[in-house]
Amino acid sequence: MPRGQKSKLRAREKRRQAHAETQGLEDAQATGTAAAGESPSSVCPLFEDRPQNMPAAGTPSTPEGPQGTTNASAAVSCTNSDEGTNSQKKESSKSSKGTEDSSRDPLYMKVVLLVQFLLQKYQNKEPITKADMLKFVIKKYKYHFNEILKRASEHMELAFGLDLKEVDPTRHCYALVSKLDLTLDGTMNDEENMPKTGLLMIVLGVIFMKGNCAPEEEIWEVLNMMGVHAERKHFIYGDPKKVITEDLVQLKYLEYRQVANSDPPRYEFLWGPRAHDEISKMKILEFLAKVHDTVPSAFPSWYEEALRDEEERAQARMAARAHTAAMASARSRATASNVSQAK
């Protein structure tokens, strides 16, 4: 079998597993159950299969349209294109088959339950240890611990923007760390106290791929395909409309403004000043590339823009350091002059 076809099959299988596991997570989170072996219901997933027409790592991508925005929604969204078909009947059949297949995967529910376990530990600010994961989640599947942990870690990163890191290799202690080092939860009420980083990264990605300014309707087009809707409470994000039009705007990670001369009023999103200061375009592109199981360079025009952004950031840091050094030198000379005059 050609190498490219093998890569495509591996990516497709990974998408199927992620789709089924996330369905199980949402059902477990909604019902509050932690019983192993319980079958997940068919509910709207957090994010569905990634587009299979996305370029795999090491393969050339289809050129983007002008300003690299033609395929932005497809690149950012986590939906299943099924090789270009949009037949609802086929999609439903495929989704059902994926759920059936996942139920035969002995590790499937363990991944779902481990993700839920990690989220609870994160919310409660409790330590995460291998011993607890084995005792309360993995149980008799301890010989598959590494595989289960790897799959659960991928979900934590792609769905919630959280990296699972081993902080004490001797005692096997872990910590969940925000990919963007954002302090969002301190500004949210207790009801919404869940990680919002993943949602922010997706929105920033849409804005970036839409030429650094995205109409509100296109933001929701992508989020809707992820099962996130403006008027529907989400099991992770709470009120997503409030999060992206109020909370993240107040934190200055997003800018939300009316489109000039629009009647009736229409709105658009841009990166906010804190996003520009704290988050690089390359970091967002790396996140989106990982969502699609590829590499940043698979998106040529966006990759070039991200590289330019990296260079500009490096130059700005150098200029800031030079300015700081010049100010320190000037103060030192002034102090020396004052001492000399005093003598």
The alpha-helical segments, DSSP class H, found in 32-85 are: 72-76
Condensed to tens digits (0 to 9), the pLDDT of residues 46-70 reads 333 333 333 333 333 333 433 344 4
In the CATH scheme, what architecture does the domain 196-279 have?
A: Orthogonal Bundle (1.10)
Parse the chain into domains and list their residue ranges: 107-178, 196-279
Quote the CA–CA distance of 164 and 197 in Å, as a whole number: 14
Quote the CA–CA distance of 57 and 8 in Å, as a whole number: 10
Element (H, E) at 177: strand 173-178
Comparing 88 with 305, which gets the higher pLDDT?
A: 305
**How much of the chain, in percent, has pLDDT values that exceed 70?**
64
The alpha-helical segments, DSSP class H, found in 66-134 are: 72-76, 88-103, 108-124, 130-133
Quote the CA–CA distance of 103 and 88 in Å, as a whole number: 23
Joined together, the tokens standing for residue 252 give 């200055």
Q: 196-279: same fold as 107-178?
A: yes
pLDDT at residue number 136: 93
Q: Does domain 107-178 have CATH number 1.20.1270.360?
A: no
Q: 0.75 cut: is pTM over it?
A: no
Q: Are 117 and 133 in contact (CB under 8 A)?
A: yes
What is the residue whose two structure tokens read 């991508």? 61
Residue 299 has pLDDT above 70, yes or no: yes
Quote the CA–CA distance of 242 and 259 in Å, as a whole number: 19
Q: Which segment of 116-130, 181-195, 228-242 scores lowest on mean pLDDT?
A: 181-195
Q: Are 143 and 197 in contact (CB under 8 A)?
A: no
Comparing 137 with 180, which gets the higher pLDDT?
A: 137
Residue 31 has pLDDT above 80, yes or no: no
Comparing 128 with 72, which gets the higher pLDDT?
A: 128
What is the residue whose two structure tokens read 């596991």? 21
pLDDT at residue number 330: 82
pLDDT at residue number 205: 93
Residue 245 has pLDDT above 90, yes or no: yes
